[in-house]
Structure 1
């Protein structure tokens, strides 16, 4: 590794993201990778989309992320934003 840094650093590995579809091999890999997180992961509620990030040069898993709907009806959050039942459900 020291030799690589002398020659200008490791080879650039461009990330490539893949959408994780239900009941796929990627879903199993996503679930397995989540076991190593320090924060618990749940299937949750609402719409969610999950991604695995692989390196294009070596096809190794280099990351993962998930996007989901915002959470509604949390009293502390709603008071801070100044949401009421009327403003929340009329927009």
Structure 2
């Protein structure tokens, strides 16, 4: 079996639950690779795993810095709110104990 796509990330991952955008992944950084317990914040990225593109990389569609690192991610489709949330809602469990939407 050959490798389809790859991305270098120490991240919590959630796949898009929306069938028409099933190639999307959400990535929430879990750490910077350091050995300390300091919290330098994190980063949220939305990437596309477009299999029609022959390259191995994934395209970053957007990213934002966060005040805390991620410990988990969940992505849910919300059909009754497709007009305001067409890609659903992403919830991040953060290292500081909060939940970010």
Instruction: Please classify the TM superposition score into its range, dividing by the shorter chain length.
Output: under 0.3
Q: Which structure is higher in strand share? A: 2
TM-score (norm 1): 0.26
